[in-house]
Structure 1
Amino acid sequence: MQLNGKNKPQPNSQLPLTGFRVLDLCDLRGQSCGRMLADLGAEVILVEPPEGMLSRRRAPVVDSQSLYFATHNANKFSVQLDLASQEGKKDFLKLVRSSDMLIDGGDKSVWEMLSTSHSQLRSIYPDLIILSITDFGLKGPYKDFTATESVHMAMSTVLSRSGTNGSPPLLPPGELALETAAIQAAWVALLAYWQRSHNGKGDLLDFSINDAIAQIFDPGVGAAGSAAAGRTAIEVAPHGRPEVNFIPGKLPSVALLYPIFKCADGHIRTCTLNPRQWRSMSEWLGPDHPFTHPKFGAPANRLLNIDGINKLLASLFENQTREHLVAQGQKRGIPIASLNLPGEVFDNDHFDQRNLFTKIDIGGKKAKAPSGYFCIDGRRIGINTLAPKPGANTQDLLSSAKVKDALPVTGGESRKPLGGILVLDLGVIVAGGDLGRLFADQGATVIKVENKAYPDGLRQSIDNNPVPISFAQANRNKKSLGLNLRSDKGKEIFLRLAKNTDVVISNFKPGTMESLGLGYEVLREINPGIICAESSAMGSAGPQARTMGYGPLVRASTALSGLWRYPEKEMGFGDCVTIFPDHFAARVTATAILAKLIQRQTTAVGGFIDTSQAECIINALASEFLRESIAPGSLKPTGNQSEFDAPNSLYPCAGKDEWCAISVTNDDQWQGLCRAMNRADLADNTNYQTTEGRLEHRIDIEGIVTRWCNSRSPYEVMNLCQKQGVPAGNMLRLSEFIENPHYNARNFFRKLHQPTAGRAIETENGPVAFSDNIPPPQIQPAPALAEHTRELMSTLIGLSDIEIDTLIASGDLEIRKKEAGAIQQKVRTLAINSVMKILLKYHELKHFFKRVNDSKLMD
């Protein structure tokens, strides 16, 4: 589907992963990973039992069709095999021999029926990649635990920061945690596939959903937003959830910088951060308010007076419509977004022009579903075929299966997967910074192109540290080039670098690269193999493409903020401090780039990738939006109770603000919970033995479980439940995060020795804890601004020291501050020496001509 608006050229119409075959054993977990690979062109084959996968019956079901299955398995194929039979085992191995990758969703019964294991299968097929997707991984104290969305939210520290102080923690809507993990699984899958193409080796990837969520959704040790003033979440997050009201005598929460206000026809959110934005807001408030002094341009000073400021803004906005306020914000350069309702997302002209939604058949009716995450080479890469009927492709695929030739083993054990790849990184803040870091971690040479006149927002800190910890988390392993892209010489240098560059990434406002004369069309003329990736709030094309790219505004415009709310409170919005979807969007873009690099190996042609943070959110809620199109009004805030299962919620435990998530999703788990509670009477009660009965008696059951939890710690509740196979997890706080035994057993944390930090700081490890073929990243410090300018200009372009010094003196290049004084003195000395040489030459010539004249006179 071609994007309307600012179209990009299409260097190659074939999907990037064409020729990549994947067997998909995932059922109730991990199906989005295969769906993303299928969207990108891989041949993804569901291996189903004779009765079909359980996910085909997962609620909500409309006209016998699971909306979950429909959205998570589009573009895939289906074979049905009885793996308990000899014929089924034979057919399965036949498919394995013809495939590049096997995605295992962690169902142990499959391997019991096959009478084999991961290691045995790899010994037979050494170049096979096995991606094992389980809740907590194949190793670690929790490896046998089972989880659901709410349990993962609790155990990954996300829940402890979601909601508002003084209220229970609040589960985000949908299955955002599981969906974010799936994109990381896709990224890991392509890393292994790329690595195998270079060294011929297969892999066993021990992928933990919980690890991925802790890295992506709201990472405790990852980069935080610029409002955190250089600190990470683990340093700034309170023990409880954030305050959303000003309390005299207490340090205000940064959440107050992203306030939501009621207006005439709903709600709007503002995100006034920099001094220019505040000046415009101050002018809008009028000349007489008490906050006109220039000092209030600093966010810290506004925070100390935020109660009075927000009261003035509330009064200004209360009688105006959302449309008017958003228009005024655009006119004045103030970030403002409407808190849209789900139905308004469907009716959005911008999303229509970007082909975000596609119509699919559900029970003979046309429903609208988000089409897919990826926009590549000017077109939407998404749903082409509906989810397959059970076994629809069994005969065709078995009859056409051919043994793939074994790849020659050529590489060493420690090969860095992306070694040799050169990336020019113009990404800023979290989404841009994290994207480049993902490539740097895997061995790519990533050059952060920056300029002191327009510094990365993450370089701001409360202590003026040149490399704050949050910046270091997003920019470790990179090199910094100080380059003025607004000068002719600076642009010339960038274009010279681009001739031999593989990837250029940016997340400026759309159109910025073109205005600099460095857009994709220009770069591909000098380097047809270059891949340009642009990430923004709403995408590079469409009526709202130039919308300011702040995460809180994106969440508002996609209906996420309105859904992430205590249902009983009109102003009970719970997404106050999250930075979702920044880290998530970075993985979406990284996966698309790597898919294009894989394609480029055979085509030698690059391409253009356009990532929209808004579309990342909407696609992560694909099942929910599909249902909303069929049953308007169904997508609404639900709080902490599951609509489809009971008991399935959060339960208060012994102690202050201590919670445990418990999820009963089938009859066996209900019986397990009864055993954990030592309540045989409940197990025998016929009213509670089915899902329908438990939902009917939800209030009674929830009360029983709550009373049982009240006298026990979250850890005790978790362990009692997990021993009986019941998904349950304690609400983990950031103060407990680094000491968590499971994360430590899985090597989740590494040490980053950042010189400016004064200590070793905790940072995350690679995207998969254990792998046979992807080594852990080497952790190097993040650079000071322009730290590597001289080195890069010498090695990559071949400039001499004198040429580099001249460009530094003219402002086309920059170097780090401590070098600048010495260089300026050197330049001054060179200039003085040059002048002295000219003067000496002048005097020599003067004396020469004087002698000549004297000789003539003598003659």
Structure 2
Amino acid sequence: MKDTSLPLEGIRILDFCDQRGQGCGRLLADLGAEVILVEPPAGMASRAKPPLYDGASLHFIAHNLNKLSLTLDLASQAGREELLTLLPSVDILLDGSAPNYLSSLGLDVATLRQAHPELLYLSITDFGLAGPRRSYVATESVHMALGTMLSRSGRAGREPLLPPGDMALETASVQAAWVALLAYWQRQFVGRGDLLDFSINDAVAQLLDPGVGATGSASAGRTAVEAAPHSRPLVEFTPGELPSVALMYPVFQCADGAVRLCVLNPRQWHAMSEWLGPDHPFKHKKYDGTAGRLMKIDKINALIAELFKHQTRAQLVDEGRKRGIPIASLALPHELFNDSHFAARELFTEVDAGTKKGLMPSGYLRMDGRRIGARTPCPTVGQHTEVLSNKPAQPLEPTPEKQSIGRRPLEGIRVLDLGVIVAGGELGRLFADQGADVIKLENRAFGDGLRQSFDGNPVSIPFAQASRGKRSLGLNLRSDEGKHLFNELVKKTDIVLTNFKPGTTESLGIDYETLKHINPGIICAESSAMGSVGPNAKTMGYGPLVRASTSLTGLWRYPDQADGYGDGVTIYPDHFVARVSAVAILAKLIERRRTGKGGFIDLSQAECIMNVLATEFLRESLQPGSMVAKGNSDEFDAPNSIFPCWGHDEWCAISVTNDQQWQALCKVMDRPDLSSNHDYSTCDGRLARREELEAEVRRWCQDRTPQEVMEQCQSVGVPAGKMLRLSEFIVDEHFQARKFFRVLQQPTAGRPLETENGPVGHSETLPEPDIRRAPARAEHTRAVAREVLQLSDDEIDELIAKGVLEQGNSAEKGAKSQKFKTFAARAGASLVVKINALRG
């Protein structure tokens, strides 16, 4: 019989996430945890969160499948006693309620932990429990602004553009799940609970398009500060200006919509050149490289546009695939419901929504051949009162000899990391940060593209960010002896990570079905653009194409500009996908302690994006045509948008989400006439007069700096956030106070590098990462061969001579060429000088 067990079965979680973080409990429930919503008798306020359909909140439905609901009147002594009675059976408490809600009821953290010393209390707040902005309130747009994403979204010369949906809040929820499971795993060894200070804004700054994280291969070895201009990217070619890499991911209109192209390497350009015909003027070899084409990209793209305009999306995608050219259709949301690939992968599921049934993405991933996602419907209020008398069996017990809380959570775990570029490299880095021995397998013939840089640096800055703390083993997997050595490594390994094109591991003989016979406890995690199975599994895995094929690109657009796509320079979802994989792998490790069995995790980047938009897809299935580009004005209340402030290209997000905030905004604007106007006193009234209200807010903002607008609004409880630029980000006092940044000493960089700290602001049991430099290629071949494979020096020498093993040089250093210095300065490297000057 098919195994129907789930990895987190037996773990009990209390979920107080009403205002924020509901996606965290949903993901943990998908993976098998018993997640119990603790609701007041009238139900959580988020049950009325728009969009509504037939009186039901589609947002609440999408975020609370697989959960249970318990009602407790915590304002009463009896309700509080019931909670304290339940608490000893609980592993994790997720608190995403209103600030100080539980404390105001006499249920502060100290009281709860006194009732259950091993309780893991995960506090999910907008800006954390400490730091200058700890009392600030936020919305999606405020997090986008203060998390630096807004400053790089959209087009130069226009207002910044908010990405669609609740991308910031949804991705942060996945990081919260990663933190919860890390603390749970650590508790098995240290035997004590924890208070975890989780900031949504910290997570947004790490996950969406991180300012100090790994940048993509198109950055050519530059940091995000160097690669990103001061404002949004210039996506039109202007003589004398440095073209943006966004021009390498152009969107072309065709007969029935649009397609996106990613022609990056010489082979792809040769195929595209052949498609353009024999007579075009860009045949010279100087156009083989990205830099050469960028300087003529306007003329090249004009030729491609003429070639494409009379053909259909299907014709272009089919021809592109035949020629080996990365191309994707800009999918429309409704088309995805009937997509054969997603149907084969069981992505969409039917859920109850009022009196009708709708469709939404079921869950983030597949595991051991099945979808991990929706199983039970969203609960009614108080549906599961029986949980008060049922105590689940705990799946794990602390180790007999408790270890010091200074231990790193994943000490003793070995990872074979075959991941490349950002999504692959970042995943291995997450495990290295937590103490795992991560061995990156490399080979000269098939190198990691993230090592590439303009100056030939053997350890580029993006590679250093993605592979800090790892060891590098040079191994030729295309030789029989190399495969034998890999199998020997697998016997002593816990996790194998890959993000090759599906089918590659099978062709190499290192797929999960093969490896599980060598080590039944092995956990293999494979990440790709479209997943390991399905009709389109072998689609080329470029982020811009993934965004196009999931409808994200089409939604991330200025509504008044047909070609105004705003996602040209982001590397989303690479960093986010790595966190989804990490959560799934850690869940498997937890299960393995109980069962001894490993398993296979199949992650599709496309499906991760679509699950972030689950509420929007559910609504589209019920209200066709609702899932369109929305721009910056919130659909459900006003004024709620991005407003221009004093100065050049300076902006602030302001979000009024209820009547109280509207009155507070009127007060801070000193506009009693607006406050007393009954036409504006309700949400419906404000929405009906959005344009006139937002014009009033614009007039108020235009004579104030974004900092002033933010501070004045926040002082009266109105969510507001200035558009934080990367040049400001690294010296921002709030991020500094939260110890968001660490220093990475990478000798090849020529300077200390800012890098991110751990995934949670404060923890009693999870130590900060040990920040160690990234390796040169094959730097640790001898050490790994001796320690893990138990080979002698003579055996190692022989294998190196035969080309089975490769040996690198730990002393490799790259000096930046003058050409690179000039290029980087034009791209924004001068910001680094300004940042260092600000630091003093």
Residues 763-783 of structure 1: per-residue CA shift (max 9 Å, x gap): 000000100100000000000
> How far 1:106 sits from its partner (Å)?
4.2
Asked if structure 2 preserves the Cα contact closer than 8 Å seen for 1:339 and 1:561, the reply is: yes
Which of 127, 130, 149 aligns to 1:139? It is: 130
Residue type of the alignment partner of 2:675? A
Residue type of the alignment partner of 2:785? M
Tell me, what secondary structure is at the counterpart of 1:119?
helix
Q: Does 1:649 align with 2:641?
A: yes
Which of 721, 726, 745 aligns to 1:729? It is: 721
> How far 1:507 sits from its partner (Å)?
0.2
Tell me, what secondary structure is at the counterpart of 1:482?
strand
> How far 1:812 sits from its partner (Å)?
0.7
Once the two structures are superposed, the pairs formed by residues 309-324 of structure 1 within 5 Å of their partners are 309-324=300-315
Asked if structure 2 preserves the Cα contact closer than 8 Å seen for 1:200 and 1:409, the reply is: no
Equivalent residue number for residue 563 of structure 1: 555
Asked if structure 2 preserves the Cα contact closer than 8 Å seen for 1:94 and 1:401, the reply is: no
State the superposition RMSD in angstroms: 1.4
Equivalent residue number for residue 831 of structure 2: none
Equivalent residue number for residue 597 of structure 2: 605
* Distance in 1 of aligned mates of 2:120 and 2:401: 14
Q: Does 1:522 align with 2:514?
A: yes
Equivalent residue number for residue 59 of structure 1: 50
> How far 1:787 sits from its partner (Å)?
0.4
* Distance in 1 of aligned mates of 2:259 and 2:272: 15
Once the two structures are superposed, the pairs formed by residues 749-768 of structure 1 within 5 Å of their partners are 749-768=741-760
Residue type of the alignment partner of 2:348? F
Which of 301, 316, 339 aligns to 1:348? It is: 339
Once the two structures are superposed, the pairs formed by residues 52-451 of structure 1 within 5 Å of their partners are 52-394=43-385, 396-401=386-391, 410-451=402-443
> How far 1:675 sits from its partner (Å)?
1.3
> Structure 2 vs 1, CA of residues 804 and 401 (structure 1 numbering), >3 Å: closer, same or farther?
closer
Tell me, what secondary structure is at the counterpart of 1:533?
strand
* Distance in 2 of aligned mates of 1:112 and 1:300: 58
* Distance in 1 of aligned mates of 2:57 and 2:555: 22
Residues 358-386 of structure 1: per-residue CA shift (max 9 Å, x gap): 01121232211110002100000100011
Q: Does 1:629 align with 2:589?
A: no
* Distance in 1 of aligned mates of 2:547 and 2:67: 30
> How far 1:547 sits from its partner (Å)?
0.3
> How far 1:471 sits from its partner (Å)?
0.6
> How far 1:96 sits from its partner (Å)?
1.4
Tell me, what secondary structure is at the counterpart of 1:797?
coil
Asked if structure 1 preserves the Cα contact closer than 8 Å seen for 2:10 and 2:393, the reply is: no
> How far 1:294 sits from its partner (Å)?
2.0
Which of 541, 545, 567 aligns to 1:549? It is: 541
* Distance in 2 of aligned mates of 1:162 and 1:271: 19
> How far 1:722 sits from its partner (Å)?
0.3
Asked if structure 1 preserves the Cα contact closer than 8 Å seen for 2:188 and 2:397, the reply is: no
> How far 1:401 sits from its partner (Å)?
4.2
> Structure 2 vs 1, CA of residues 96 and 819 (structure 1 numbering), >3 Å: closer, same or farther?
closer
> How far 1:205 sits from its partner (Å)?
0.5
Residue type of the alignment partner of 1:426? L
Tell me, what secondary structure is at the counterpart of 1:732?
coil
Residues 677-715 of structure 1: per-residue CA shift (max 9 Å, x gap): 111221111111110111111111111101000000000
Equivalent residue number for residue 20 of structure 1: 11
Equivalent residue number for residue 844 of structure 1: none
Residues 486-522 of structure 1: per-residue CA shift (max 9 Å, x gap): 1111111101000111000000000100000111011
Asked if structure 2 preserves the Cα contact closer than 8 Å seen for 1:50 and 1:81, the reply is: yes
Once the two structures are superposed, the pairs formed by residues 436-515 of structure 1 within 5 Å of their partners are 436-515=428-507
How many pairs align? 810
Tell me, what secondary structure is at the counterpart of 1:453?
helix
Equivalent residue number for residue 824 of structure 2: none
> How far 1:13 sits from its partner (Å)?
3.1
Equivalent residue number for residue 833 of structure 2: none
Residue type of the alignment partner of 2:232? R
Unmatched segments (≥5 aa) in structure 1: 1-8, 821-859
> How far 1:667 sits from its partner (Å)?
0.6
Asked if structure 2 preserves the Cα contact closer than 8 Å seen for 1:127 and 1:406, the reply is: no
* Distance in 1 of aligned mates of 2:768 and 2:776: 24
Residue type of the alignment partner of 1:272? V
Equivalent residue number for residue 654 of structure 2: 662
> How far 1:400 sits from its partner (Å)?
2.2
Residues 721-758 of structure 1: per-residue CA shift (max 9 Å, x gap): 00100000000000101000000000000000001011
Residue type of the alignment partner of 2:519? N
TM-score normalised by structure 1 residue count: 0.93
> Structure 2 vs 1, CA of residues 409 and 22 (structure 1 numbering), >3 Å: closer, same or farther?
farther
Tell me, what secondary structure is at the counterpart of 2:624?
coil
* Distance in 2 of aligned mates of 1:704 and 1:409: 65
Equivalent residue number for residue 565 of structure 2: 573
Asked if structure 2 preserves the Cα contact closer than 8 Å seen for 1:721 and 1:728, the reply is: yes
Residues 537-587 of structure 1: per-residue CA shift (max 9 Å, x gap): 000000000000000000000000000000000100000100110111110
> How far 1:108 sits from its partner (Å)?
3.4
Unmatched segments (≥5 aa) in structure 2: 813-840
* Distance in 2 of aligned mates of 1:612 and 1:83: 42
Asked if structure 1 preserves the Cα contact closer than 8 Å seen for 2:19 and 2:97, the reply is: no
Equivalent residue number for residue 820 of structure 2: none
* Distance in 2 of aligned mates of 1:730 and 1:274: 38
Asked if structure 1 preserves the Cα contact closer than 8 Å seen for 2:776 and 2:809, the reply is: no
Equivalent residue number for residue 582 of structure 2: 590
Please identify runs of 4+ aligned residues in structure 1 that moved more than 4 A: 401-409, 817-820
Equivalent residue number for residue 684 of structure 1: 676
> How far 1:409 sits from its partner (Å)?
7.4
* Distance in 1 of aligned mates of 2:436 and 2:389: 41
Residue type of the alignment partner of 1:162? S
Equivalent residue number for residue 777 of structure 2: 785
* Distance in 2 of aligned mates of 1:19 and 1:477: 33
Residue type of the alignment partner of 2:81? K
* Distance in 1 of aligned mates of 2:392 and 2:342: 42
Tell me, what secondary structure is at the counterpart of 2:788?
helix
Residues 80-109 of structure 1: per-residue CA shift (max 9 Å, x gap): 111010110011112212100100114235
Residue type of the alignment partner of 1:271? C
* Distance in 2 of aligned mates of 1:108 and 1:237: 35
Residue type of the alignment partner of 2:265? N
* Distance in 1 of aligned mates of 2:67 and 2:397: 25
